[in-house]
Amino acid sequence: MEEHVFDQVADAELHFLEEKLLAVDPDDLEVDLASGVLTLTFADDQKVIVNSHRAAGQIWLAAFRQAWHFSPHQENGHTVWRTASEELRSTLQRLVGTKLGRPFQW
C-alpha cells in the first residue's frame, strides 16, 4: 500500500475510533487524537495508546502491558485491521469494556 493511501486509511480508522469513544462518559474516559496517536486515559490514569505506524504499515495498540500490531486487510470492500488472530475494533472494544467494568459497543 502506498504511503499516502496508508495515511488516509489509517487516519480514517483513528477518527472512527475517536468518534465512538467520545460517547463514553468523560468522567470515565478521556479521548485525545493528535498527530496519528489516539490516547485513551481512564479515570485511574491508566492509558491505552493506538497509533498509526506508517513505516510498518500498521496500526499499533498498547494497553495494560500488552501490545498488538494490526495490518490492513481488504474484506468486503472495507479495510479491516488484523493481527493473525485478532481484529483492532473488537480488541479495543473488549479492552475498554473490561476496564470500564461494563459492556462497550461500537
Quote the distance between the C-alpha of residue 41 and its chain's center: 13
pLDDT higher than 90, residue 94: yes
If you average pLDDT over residues 75-100, what whole number do you get? 96
Tell me the CATH number at 37: 3.30.920.10
Residue 105 lies in a domain: no
Instruction: For 13-43, write each residue's pLDDT tens digit.
Output: 999 999 999 999 999 999 999 999 999 999 9
106 within a domain of the structure (yes/no): no
Look up the domain containing 44 and give its range.
Answer: 3-100
- Does residue 44 fall inside a structural domain? yes
Counted domains in the chain: 1
Asked if the model's pLDDT at residue 10 lies above 90, the reply is: yes
- Please report the pLDDT score of residue 106 as a whole number: 85
What residues have CB less than 8 Å from 57, skipping those under 6 apart?
Answer: 1, 6, 71, 72
Residue 71 resides in a domain = yes
Q: Convert the pLDDT of each residue in 47-57 to its tens digit.
A: 999 999 999 99
Q: Helix, strand, or coil here: 17? A: helix
pLDDT band (50, 70, 90) for residue 2: confident
According to the model, what pLDDT value does residue 59 have? 98
